[in-house]
């Protein structure tokens, strides 16, 4: 059984807006989601595939859609600057291109993930001095999900790559015989870790050429050339956050250190269930810092410090600067749709 962890289209239209058509509540369990691409054992047939890697005489067996509860919260918590610092500017650009699809979703956690990605990826974009590459934007006509490693391991499927949900009518992928349930693990012999890697590899391919997709189906690997078409769309305007949206706290004699704080926008407040756009959004924490030791996590929203209401990031610095070093401050954070308190011992740095 394979899980959903960030579905996307390689066409760049709506990106994750296809989520609503790909998942739906299962009767009797409001927390469960069903994806038609979740399969046990492979797709329904082998069509137009050529490979020297498949087992001789192997006959793909019909798959069966299976219920799975995707961890949407994981999509939110992974969106920190650390995810993007080791990656190229092109990868970050493609990640930002997917943001509008998240934000435009009707699922609150996906909206939250989009807001978090916008801030996290933008922060690293500025750190690296990235500029937009304006890639050729080649497409092969697929909607796909990043493979859920835990679920894939249970059926001995590849734990990295993209799970094909469906192909577009008349697309290169459909003409090549790519089917719902296939797992693409490499493009032109380059391993694919997630949907961003996949879309980037295809987008960089010259229009009118073919890319070789290595995919897994029914416990075998196959390779097939797939025609790359033009998306027909102009380069998108990247949804970059403003530089000032994630500002490190200024060190004071007794400050709440080790955090980068951002502005709580109305859309982010709505996504996380806050009544108003107030508080200080924790966009990053430094490992081993006061904030990290206290259990404050990226994407928390600080709403109070020692009983004093926090409206902006500057309030956190101002309130804490009036406290003595060594004082154990109660910090109230908003996390997972609920308010909770952590204890933080202030120190000099």
What is the distance between the terminal CA atoms of the chain, rounded to a whole angstrom?
Answer: 48
Sequence-distant (≥ 6) Cβ neighbours of residue 145 within 8 angstroms: 2, 3, 4, 5, 6, 7, 8, 22, 35, 37, 162, 163, 165, 195
Alpha-carbon distance 157 to 226, whole Å? 22
Sequence-distant (≥ 6) Cβ neighbours of residue 321 within 8 angstroms: 252, 253, 254, 255
Give the start-end residues of each E strand in 200-275. Answer: 210-217, 220-227, 229-230, 246-248, 259-263
Q: Which of 299, 47, 53, 311 is nearest to 179 (CA)?
A: 47
Instruction: Give me the tens of pLDDT residue by residue for the chain, a chain 349 residues long.
Output: 344 444 566 754 333 333 322 332 222 222 222 233 333 233 333 233 333 344 433 444 444 333 334 567 777 888 888 889 999 999 999 999 989 988 888 888 888 889 889 988 998 999 899 999 877 788 999 998 888 888 788 888 888 899 998 999 999 999 999 999 999 999 999 999 888 999 999 988 999 999 999 999 988 899 999 999 998 888 888 999 877 544 444 544 344 678 878 778 787 787 778 888 889 888 778 888 888 889 998 888 999 998 899 988 888 888 877 888 888 889 999 988 889 999 988 765 4
User: Which domains are present in the chain?
Assistant: 4-230 (2.30.42.10), 243-345 (2.30.42.10)
DSSP symbols for 297-341: -TT-EEEEETTEE--SHHHHHHHHHTSPTT-EEEEEEEETTEEEE
Alpha-carbon distance 277 to 342, whole Å? 21
Alpha-carbon distance 214 to 211, whole Å? 10
Alpha-carbon distance 119 to 267, whole Å? 13
């Amino acid at each position: 059984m394979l899980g959903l962890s960030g579905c996307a289209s390689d066409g760049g239209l709506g990106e994750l807006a296809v989520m609503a058509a790909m998942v739906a509540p299962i009767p009797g369990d409001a927390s469960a989601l069903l994806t038609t691409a979740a399969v046990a054992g492979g797709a329904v047939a082998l069509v137009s595939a050529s490979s020297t890697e498949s087992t001789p005489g192997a006959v793909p067996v019909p798959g069966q859609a299976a219920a799975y509860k995707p961890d949407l919260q994981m999509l939110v918590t992974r969106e920190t600057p650390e995810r993007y610092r080791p990656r190229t500017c092109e990868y970050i650009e493609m990640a930002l291109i997917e943001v509008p699809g998240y934000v435009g979703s009707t699922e609150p956690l996906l909206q939250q993930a989009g807001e978090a990605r916008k801030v996290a990826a933008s922060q690293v974009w500025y750190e690296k001095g990235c500029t937009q590459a304006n890639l050729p934007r080649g497409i092969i006509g697929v909607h796909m999900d990043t493979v859920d490693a835990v679920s894939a391991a249970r059926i001995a499927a590849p734990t990295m790559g993209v799970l094909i949900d469906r192909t577009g009518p008349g697309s290169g992928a459909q003409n090549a015989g790519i089917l719902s349930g296939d797992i693409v693990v490499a493009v032109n012999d380059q391993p694919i870790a997630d949907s961003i890697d996949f879309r980037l590899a295809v987008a960089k391919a010259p229009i009118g050429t073919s890319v070789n997709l290595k995919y897994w189906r029914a416990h075998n690997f196959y390779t097939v050339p797939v025609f790359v078409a033009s998306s027909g769309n102009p380069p998108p305007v990247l949804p970059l956050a403003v530089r000032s949206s994630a500002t490190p706290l200024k060190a004071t004699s007794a400050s709440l250190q080790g955090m980068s704080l951002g502005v709580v926008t109305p859309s982010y407040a709505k996504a996380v269930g806050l009544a108003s756009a107030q508080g200080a959004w924790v966009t990053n924490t430094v490992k081993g810092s006061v904030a990290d030791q206290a259990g404050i996590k990226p994407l928390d929203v600080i709403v109070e410090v020692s009983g004093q209401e926090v409206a902006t990031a500057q309030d956190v610095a101002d309130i804490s600067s009036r406290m003595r070093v060594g004082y154990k401050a109660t910090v109230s954070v908003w996390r997972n749709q609920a308010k909770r308190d952590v204890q933080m011992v202030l120190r000099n740095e």
